[in-house]
Structures are given as structure tokens and as C-alpha cells.
Amino acid sequence: MSSSVLGRFRPQPQFLIGDLFANYWSEREEPIPSAALVALLGDFGITVSGSRTALSRLARAGRVERTTVGRHTYYRQTAYGAERIRIVHAQLVAFGPEPRPWDGEWRLVAFHVSEAERDKRPALRSHLRALGFGPLFDGLWISPRADEDEVARTLRAVGVDNATVFRARITSGGDPGRAWDLGALAGRYRDFVACFEPYLRAARERSLSPAEALVVRTAAHYWWRRFAADDPDLPLRFLPRPWPRADAHRVFAALDAELEPLARRHVEETVAAARDGTSR
């Protein structure tokens, strides 16, 4: 059954490795044999060479630490990798079924990028979207709750000097929700429900294997992380009704709880089998 979700779930192997450490090994000190990580990534259709390349890249980036004992290689999470995962986990916990409380003030960025520096525009737009902004007008981007200091750092990093970051209340005019494609986002939430509700039923019927439980739970995490990154978390009064985020969160939270024990068992048994093989 997990083959159908794999057909729509194509994350990078680095994401899969980070998710494995975050959800199943964050409280443990002992390293994981590389053979176990390769086997677990194989459940997602990742080749042996693809798995080993991803592990090497994560080690070079300081996210995991590699050790060798005899002919066998092991990996453990570094403090830097653990901190990155802690930040992502905190974002996911904060991203619940309904928008968070709002102070009534919009965070705005007004900027001008000349034609001579137009190559900076795509990078700036990409960074602003990642911070939760949408374009209210050309050169005026808006967010309900972005961090102004982070916005200022982004502007400096991109090299945009002709910009102003400020807060404001909208007293008249159009709907600020038009700065985002809320229709497309709502469609993605409904698509999430349609995709994962059958897996939730299967989980409650105990008809998923341990490997399938791991694949489906990881896929749900991947999609929910994308929602947390892409949803501007607008106050309720600016959202079309009915807004499907609460329904999607209901499916995500129930599926996550149902599949956790089975997925954890699969990870631990795979690691134990790899350890047994390396001890012979």
C-alpha cells in the first residue's frame, strides 16, 4: 500500500536521514550502523549509492559524525544537527489546526531593486516567501507575524539596501489575503486529507507492515513540514471558509500517533539486525 504514497513522495535522502534521527534516535547515544541507514532508506526506494552519497554530504555539512570500527562504519547526530532538528520540531509543534493569536499589526517590507541589480529580485522574493511574506503590491510585501530582525538580515544577505521594514494596521482597502494563492493552498490541504485518510484507516485496522508505517509516517511529516513553511498563518478572518487546515491537521496528528510505535519498531529492529551482522 505504501507504494502509492511513494509515487508522490520524492524527498531528498538527506531529509530521510534527518527524519530518522529526529523521530527515532534523538534520545540515544549509540551510533547507527551505516548498513542500517542504507536498509531503511531502501524502504523509500533509495539506492545504496544514493544513501551513501547522502550520508557523506551530511557528514561534510556537520550534520552527522562518521566513525569507523574495523570494516564497519557508523553515524551519529552532531550537536549542530540536533539543534537544526530541534528548531524544525518547534516549528511543527507551533503549526497547529488553527492560526496562532495575532496582534493586529502587519509586518511589511517596501523595497526597490533597480534594473541594474535585477538579478537580486528572484533571490529576494524566494527569501521573503520563506519568511511567510506575500506580495500585496509590486515592491510591497506583507506578513502577519514575520520577525523583523530576520527580515533585515535577509535584506542584507541578498544585498538590497533600498528597503524599509515596518509594521502597520490596514484601515481601508482590499483584502490582504490576496497576497497569497489561498485557493491553491486549500487544495493542497484537501489533497493531503484525500491521500492520508485511507492510511489512517489502515493504521487503525492494523493492516500496515512496519516498513509501510515508516514510509507513510515519514511522508506525512514531509508534507506537513511543507505546509508549515508555505502557509502564511493568516488570521482566521482573512481566510476563505471553510478553511481545510484543521481537517488536515486532524488526519496528520492521528496518523502520526497511530504509526509511531510500529515505525519505531521497524527502525530499532533494522538497527539491531545490522549490529548483529557487524558483530559476527
Q: Do the domain assignments include residue 58?
A: yes
Domain count, the chain: 3
For residue 229, how many other CB atoms are within 10 A of its CB? 14
Collapsing DSSP to helix, strand or coil, 163 comes out as strand
Same domain? For 187 and 260 the reply is yes
Let me know if residue 122 belongs to a domain. yes
Both 257 and 233 in one domain: the answer is yes
Cell reading at 146? 514575520
Q: What is the pLDDT of residue 280?
A: 44
202 and 249 in a single domain? The answer is yes
Question: Torsion angle, CA of 141/142/148/151, rounded to 10 degrees?
Answer: -30
List average pLDDT for each run of 10 residues in the chain, which is 280 residues long: 68 89 88 96 94 94 89 89 78 85 94 91 91 91 91 91 92 87 96 95 95 95 91 93 96 96 96 78
CATH of the domain at 140: 3.30.70
The answer to whether position 253 is within a domain reads yes
- Which residue's C-alpha cell is 493552498? 185
Same domain, 206 and 233: yes
DSSP label at 237?
Answer: G
Q: Which residues on adjacent β-strands are paired with residue 76?
A: 65
Phi-psi region of 142 (alpha: psi -120 to 50; beta: other; left: phi over 0): beta
Q: Which domain holds residue 196?
A: 181-265
The DSSP secondary structure of 77-122, one letter per residue, reads: E-HHHHHHHHHHHHHHHH--SSPPP--S-EEEEEE---GGGGGGHH
Q: In sequence order, which residues have a C-beta less than 8 Å from that of residue 203 and are 6 or more positions away?
A: 213, 216, 255, 258, 259, 262
Q: Is residue 91 part of a domain?
A: no
Q: Which of 65, 81, 97 is the last residue of a domain?
A: 81
Q: How far apart are CA 65 and CA 70, in angstroms?
A: 17
- Position of cell 535585477? 118
Counts of helices then strands in the chain (DSSP H, E): 10, 7
What CATH number has the domain bearing residue 14?
1.10.10.10
Q: How many whole angstroms separate alpha carbon 219 and alpha carbon 8?
A: 9
Tell me the Cα Rg of the chain: 22
> Could you count the other beta carbons within 10 Å of the beta carbon of residue 189?
20
Is 95 within a domain? no
- Residue 126 falls within a domain, yes or no? yes
